[in-house]
Structure 1
Amino acid sequence: MAHYSNSDLFLVTPLVYGVVGAMRKFLDLPRRLPGWNRALNWIWVPGAALFLAAQALDLKTTTLGDVYWLLSLGMIMAVLLALRDYRPARSLLLAMAPFVVYKLVEYVLETPEGKIPKQYDAALDTTQGFVIIWLITFIFIARSQKKQLEKERVLREEEEKAKRLIEAQNAQLEHLVAERTAALTNQAEELRAALTELKTTQAQLIQSEKMASLGELTAGIAHEIQNPLNFVNNFAEVSAELVTELEEEREKPDRDLELEADLLADLKQNLQKIHQHGGRAASIVRGMLEHSRQSSGERVPTDLNQLADEYLRLAYHGLRAKDKTFNATLKPDFDPSLPPVEVIAQDLGRVLLNLLTNAFYAVKKRQEQGEPGYAPTVSVSTKRVGSDVEIRVRDNGTGMPESVQAKIFQPFFTTKPTGEGTGLGLSLSYDIVTQGHGGTLAVESREGEGTEFIISLPA
């Protein structure tokens, strides 16, 4: 059985100091228990004192190593008890308890010559194996718990930071609103005199302001790159851990070549994922920059089939960037004989993107209801109808009651939950089609079955 002589004490002291140092760092004692942390700086002193006393007095006892071990273990258990509200410390306490009991039993059974009676040898050997496995298992559990707590701490800090930022922005907005209200109040008399002149330009000003707001909202879609960037960051972090594991394995005298091969394969796969999601982020940025460019306001002959197909894909992949689990059937049905139509392509594209985004939102909501056999489907079709061209956007989503259809094109009216819709999308789309292109925008919907929007434009 393992025991420590006077000469062993010289080796045990730095070992204990190293173990205690690792525990201090793992439990962050300088911050959590500064008093205990300072005391543990001197953990080597009892060992050194025992060693010097044994040498000076020429003591023959072989229990000094065990005494120092038990003293050190007692201090470690006291620290863990002081930190029992900290989950990793509780796990370490559970890990250490059987080991301390084992050492106490060994110390009690040990003869004055430092040996263990033979009748207890087999039992203590078995117990020692169990204690070591138990100790290692709970050390890994404590390490995992600490990582999880650290992630939760970082998340809380980010949430608090975001909350403070929102509060600051709200305060700033309230201040600006108050200033603007005061300024408008003071200018009321002056505005009355100019009211007649302003009425003639009011429609153009409102349309211009709405288009500017829509451009800002559209450019904001670029937040979708956060998803592939999160994948890049996560795979990079995991790759760093794999490299560390590989380095540790290579330093072992008995290397596990199969484990090294597995680590290299995982590392290669992670790098491929990083490349894939990095390319996805770059693709999203290019698409959003193209979409958010300022409209020239000029009508040009445009292939409506190509335009509708482009925004069908953009809307679908935009939602897929947020929710990888979402899938839908796309049904384009384009009239091949459709001639080019003079439209403002970017403005009409915004209309299509808004209608298609709403369509995918509706089918996703219906899918989340868990309806058996339901298959989300969104279709876009074009055709020539007399002197007009029709674009139809249809979905088999949740549909709308008649009371909602009557208000659907009103500014700031939305059926989406707070924070998910501004209520301007369909209002702006209606203005673009009717005022900007001289066409019509109508809706047909049945609650629980689906919705169809019909854009009619002069050919």
Structure 2
Amino acid sequence: MKMPQLRSSKALPLQIVLVVPFVLQIFGTVSLVGYLSLKNGQRAVNNLAEQVIDRTSNVVDEHLQSYLSIPQTLNQINADAIKRGILDVREQEAVGEYFWDQMQAYDLSYIGIGLTTGEGIGTARYDGRTITIDDWVARQSNNTINYATDRRGRRTRVNYRWTWNSFSEAWYTEPIAAGKPIWKIYAANLPNGPYIAASASRPIYDSQNRLLGMIASDIHLLKLNDFLNRLEVSQSGQVFLMERDGTLIASSGTERPFTLVNRKIHRLRAIDSSNPIIQTVVQHLQTSSGLQSITQHTDFRLEIQGQQHFVSVVPWRDEYGLDWLLVISVPENTFMAQIDANTHITIALCLGALVLALIMSVLTSRWIVQPILHLSHASESVAAGNLEQTVEKSRIRELDTLSNSFNHMANQLYQSFAALEQSKAELEDRVEDRTAELKNTLIKLQHTQIQMIQSEKMSGLGQLVAGVAHEINNPVNFIHGNLDPVQEYTEDLLKLVQLYQQYYPNSATEIQRTVEEIDLKFLQQDLPKILNSMKLGTGRIRQIVLSLRNFSRMDESEFKAVDIHEGIDSTLLILQHRFKAKSEYSKIELIKNYGSLPLVECYAGQLNQVFMNVLVNALDALEESIQRTHEEVKSQPSQITIRTSVLSEEWVEVAIADNGSGMPEAVRQRIFDPFFTTKPFGKGTGMGMSISYQIVTEKHGGKLECYSIPGQGTEFVIQIPLQQKVLI
């Protein structure tokens, strides 16, 4: 069929229709983006500068609030301790070690006291690292000694001596005159170099409110310098602190807040600083409104050395008299450089997009729509995972080649994915098998490690306990065995003395004098009591030695029939000190509900170790629940209950329970896992209960179970057979 001939009309070429509107659109977009970038740049600079300055101001404020509160708080604690008699200022060596411990805990430069007697003691970190002790007396010449210290705060050697008159120093006189906590910027040229610090001080009194002197805690101003140096404001920004009179306290630069002139320390005024930013900002503040009139946060812009700077001034005060000004200066070009660079990049990208769009529009004008659409749909199907796709051939050679290539690629992808799926399945099977092998190997390794550690631990403990018991047993038996003859001989001698007094009442003067000097009557009454006390003491030692030997069971390499109660009592005797009352918690009551148990075949030493682990956990749980009030402890005292019973003809049961805080279900389920512990680092290894579980279940064929209710306590139940059927 012959197609009708269409009349040709004048029309724009498709390339022009596609290219011209697209180019105009991109050109308009580039122009608009450039204009908006320039308009919003300054606004972004202002917002970013405010954010940086506010963030820096908040960081400095939080640091000053937390860091400068430490000296005053520490002074309050020490003053209260002195007033209550807990800290005796007359024992200067003990006070020095006490302050040494506090210097270990707090990042301070000095802690010390000056007394009204002219004496004093202090600990210092003059070089910022090493803690030394200063000790001075009332005399005026070389009255102060600086000591080096060891790791426990004890004095080891004299570093140097110098003369110090505390009565003439503002460090001492100003807090005494104020009669309350104050701050003072204090400077001194000490033998080891210049020392300038913010000193928090206050007077101290005894329990009768009599003045003893004063106490002070210092922070070296260079520590504030170091903190400001670490602030990342900008490469050319500045942060500094100054007093209301313009004296510099600290800055983020390398300049120190003081100078040395003829070995005398002179504090640096901010307006005299070598830093042009600090000098210009302070000069502007003094000429515009005055430093004393700044009472609230003030922001302004200032030109410094031809550059615009954002400047923020924030008053900073505390309740003890500090009244400082925090000044933050950030140059405008810090932000404009990045914004200008971003603007240039944006314009370059837009121009690049314009050129690329022009090229793409020329290329796309030559397409042939239908074959490409078929190819696109087939590609989307392949991307979606449907690899069984084919594209019909085209009459155009290039598109026909592309179609053939696509069909070949789709077929290759289909075969490759099929092979990949098969390899994936085989790999997953191998990984699962290998994972199972590694898991079993890890479990065996953990069990082996636990067994080795337990063996070494029990061997060392048994040898130590048995050796100590053996060495103590011989002399104690010797003393205890000779006490009865000594007591008998003593009674005979006392009877003989009484007979002499009865038949010879009028003895010689020298004998009578000796009788009075030695107080014979009291001796006759007290000597038998002393012998009885010695006998009770040696008997107690023999009982402890017997308990140690029973606990260690070093003479029993095979399991044998033993008295379970005897092992429990031996363990309790070793842990007896843990049941006694201490300053931080009350006495722990022990309740024993023993049943009538026959002899049980077991490894006695290992079973005693199980009792030890369970009892120690119970004691730790009770000691950790000391936060209870006095009324709660009185109504429900801390208790450990031990219950033994016969379950059947073949089994016995030992239950150990405490009324502590208990444990959550998640912790209870993991209590027997190796290396699992809830105790702080260094206090527990997480192996005790795992080893106990292994001893009970594997060594004795028994059961070890844990029951716990949060807030009510925990109970461990041990069940073992009376006789072992298989020798392990």
- TM bucket, shorter chain: 0.3 to 0.5
Higher strand fraction (1 or 2) = 2
Between Structure 1 and Structure 2, whose CA radius of gyration is higher? 2
Q: Higher relative CO (CA 8 A, sep ≥ 6), structure 1 or 2? A: 1
